[in-house]
Amino acid sequence: MEKKNQPQPSLKGTFISVMAVGIFIVLMWVSIYLLYIARL
């Protein structure tokens, strides 16, 4: 059984890692898209 008032786990490191991966994917996507637009 879970207790109702469990302390919140610290997800700061997870948050930074997830955002870093997300920003990397977005930057790659945008740079390839701009390359495509430039060559139209």
Q: What residues line the site for another protein (CB under 8 A)? A: 8-9, 11-12, 14-15, 18-19, 22, 25-26, 29, 33, 36, 39-40
DSSP notation for 1-40:
---TTPPPPP-HHHHHHHHHHHHHHHHHHHHHHHHHHHT-
Find the shortest distance in angstroms from Cβ 1 to another protein.
15
Find the shortest distance in angstroms from Cβ 19 to another protein.
7
The sign of the dihedral angle between the CA atoms of 24, 29, 32, 35 is negative
- Indicate the residue among 1 and 40 with the shorter CB distance to another protein: 40
